[in-house]
Amino acid sequence: MKNINKTIVVGMSGGVDSSVSAYLLKEQGYKVVGLFMQNWQSEPGEVCTSEIDFKDASEVCDKLDIPLHKANFSNEYWNNVFEEFIKEHKLGRTPNPDVLCNREIKFKSFLNYALTIGADYIATGHYATLKNNDERKILSRAKDKDKDQTYFLHEVKEKEFENCIFPLSNYLKTEVREIAKNLNLSISSKKDSVGICFIGERNLKDFLGRFIKLEKGPIYDELNNEIGMHNGATLYTKGQRQGLNIGGIKDKDDLPWYVFNKDIQNNSLHVCQGINNPLLFNNGLECEKISWINNKEIKYPFNCLIQVRHQHTPIGCTINYDGKFIINFDEDIRGVAPGQSAVFYEDEVCLGGGVISNTL
């Protein structure tokens, strides 16, 4: 087999995707080495999900007969991901830690560590595709469009992708679970990880309250009538419905309420009724900078597709640059929130993206 002398280090999370990735690469003839990343130091009394995940990863590696290393990147995670996550929340924005986590941990700390232990390549369980085009490494969508993770990979540069393989690019999630089941892997029915990258699913109010002072404040309707109280404005994002605890307002329709604005300085939320309320929509946004994966020269105005959150259906847009990037949508988009990522595509190819600094 042509890959027999090539060493590939697979990021083993203890989940089904990385486990099946390791199996597929071994079947292709690679010398596969597993690497488990510990990126969060649990405090006394906390449920330590990383210990559970490491146990699962160890069982899988034993079953597949591959060695497993363990590396602690908790300092890098704290300094380069989590502090940024907290800073953005303090500013009232809605950050996406998965984007930072990919850029700073999986394709920097993990990649560098893997190379020091003899890797020719690294692999992860991401649903994404890497293609060669005129000697360039192009990031493209995976076969499973529902699971596609190119949105979260847009800040990784072409240089990091040169030594990377995504084994699941041509698999559906259902097929991956079936492979794990046929291999009798204990994690075949394990739920996908949710919540904050490497920290897990938590009560956001309780968790952020350890790092940010949260205070109750007023909720106003679109006419500036006070109709309720919230637990801290930074906990909410534009378009959010859950957690508002508003109901039975006199002279108001029996429709759900959504956040259309938040005022961090005055610790207040502004809400409106109805999922299609015009107050929830924007016709454009601003980015202070855009990270292009392939560093190709862009001539503005530039027309492409834009996606403003994971699984959002991309729509056409025009990017202009005048000291900052002004992006106008071909049609209005609901729930555009500063702090989230705007990611740009040409058909299936992910070009890059940037953090939303303002809405239009």
Residues identified as active-site: 101, 197
In angstroms, the CA 262 to CA 264 distance is 6
* DSSP E strand stretches across 136-248: 136-140, 164-165, 217-220, 226-230
**Which helix (H) or strand (E) segment is 130 a member of?**
strand 129-133
**Which helix (H) or strand (E) segment is 202 a member of?**
none
3-state class of 353 per DSSP? strand
Q: Are 117 and 33 a contacting pair, CB within 8 Å?
A: yes
In angstroms, the CA 260 to CA 325 distance is 23
146 forms beta bridges with none
Return the closest-CA partner of residue 168 out of 334, 15, 346. 15
Q: Are 279 and 273 a contacting pair, CB within 8 Å?
A: no
Please state at what angle helix 16-27 crosses helix 49-64, rounded to 10 degrees. Answer: 20
**134-137, long-range: CB within 8 Å, 24+ apart, which pairs?**
136/294, 137/161, 137/162, 137/294
Backbone Cα Rg of the chain: 22
CA 318 centroid distance within chain: 24
Return the closest-CA partner of residue 221 out of 244, 198, 203. 244
